[in-house]
């Protein structure tokens, strides 16, 4: 059975404890975005979709800042898990006290409909183009991997895509077919699943095979959610987070 979203034994909520380098902007249509820029002007924009705790989940903004700096790209983290559930985290997604071990996130996930997000994303892409972006990358963790697939389905031309501990099965929760959705992605994908993610993300799996030639999968022996939320006092998590960030940075250098 294809997992819909986060496995129950995923990494729990992690509070953000990071001093951000980027800025919050608000698009004319009302969507807020965490936007971080590299030292020099860039023609590459990365649309980075978070996990279900939203745009300030754990290390999300720190990772955005790191990638902007290492890859010379503008990175945009949109606030799209709206309405926030029980107030959300920094007004987005699930609240800090939400336990995946005790509660299903199904109801909030079903309330976050792509039809409501789509208009904001078209506006964000136009904003980034106006500010010099000529090529786009989709980056998603957990729920965000589904969002990257939806961008591709909407015809937004992505140079490459990165999906970390992905939850493309969210499409099934919304009544669609997740593998069919994956087939709408027209660029090679870097898949970085966790040990408790579906084998569909492994080389030869259903999602892997739905993506174009050039797709690569690398599995980590830690739990789903490790990149933004894993406990860095655990050495296996810390080394996986470092390796995952380095793998993303190198993939982007090779792809752009």
The pTM of the full predicted model, rounded to 2 decimals, is: 0.97
Tens place of pLDDT per residue across the chain (256 aa) = 445 678 888 998 999 988 899 999 999 999 999 999 999 999 999 999 999 999 999 999 999 999 999 999 999 999 999 999 999 999 999 999 999 989 999 999 999 999 999 999 999 999 999 999 999 999 999 999 999 999 999 999 999 999 999 999 999 999 999 999 999 999 999 999 999 999 999 999 999 999 999 999 999 999 999 999 999 999 999 999 999 999 999 999 999 9
- For 236, the token pair is 């296996």
Q: What is the DSSP string of 28-88?
A: TTS-EEEEE--SS--SEEEEEE--TT-TTSTTHHHHHHHHHHHHT-EEEEE--S-SPGGGT
Q: What is the pLDDT of residue 3?
A: 54
Q: What is the pLDDT of residue 7?
A: 81
Who contacts 173 (Cβ-Cβ below 8 Å, separation ≥6)?
Answer: 4, 5, 106, 109, 110
CA distances from residue 88 to 69, 84, 93, 115, 134 in whole angstroms, order as listed = 28, 5, 5, 20, 33
Per DSSP, 26 falls in state E
């Amino acid at each position: 059975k294809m997992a819909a979203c986060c496995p129950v034994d995923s990494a729990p909520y992690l509070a953000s404890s990071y001093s951000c380098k980027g800025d919050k902007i608000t698009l004319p249509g009302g969507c807020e975005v965490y936007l971080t820029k590299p030292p020099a002007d860039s023609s590459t924009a990365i649309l980075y979709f978070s996990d279900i705790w939203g745009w300030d989940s754990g290390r999300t903004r720190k990772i955005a800042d790191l990638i902007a700096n290492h890859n010379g790209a503008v990175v945009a983290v949109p606030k799209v898990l709206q309405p926030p559930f029980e107030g959300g985290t920094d007004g987005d997604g699930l609240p800090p006290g939400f336990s995946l071990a005790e509660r299903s996130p199904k109801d909030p996930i079903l309330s976050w409909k792509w039809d409501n997000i789509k208009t904001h994303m078209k506006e964000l892409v136009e904003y980034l183009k106006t500010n010099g972006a000529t090529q786009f990358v989709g980056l998603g963790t957990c729920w965000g991997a589904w969002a990257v697939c939806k961008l591709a389905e909407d015809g937004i031309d992505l140079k490459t895509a990165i999906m970390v501990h992905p939850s493309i099965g969210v499409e099934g929760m919304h009544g669609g077919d997740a593998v069919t959705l994956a087939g709408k992605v027209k660029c090679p994908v870097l898949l970085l699943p966790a040990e408790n993610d579906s084998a569909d993300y492994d080389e030869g799996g259903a999602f892997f095979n739905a993506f174009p030639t050039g797709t690569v999968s690398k599995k980590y022996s830690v739990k789903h959610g490790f990149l933004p939320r894993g406990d860095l006092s655990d050495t296996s998590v810390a080394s996986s987070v470092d390796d995952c960030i380095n793998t993303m940075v190198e993939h982007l250098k090779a792809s752009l």
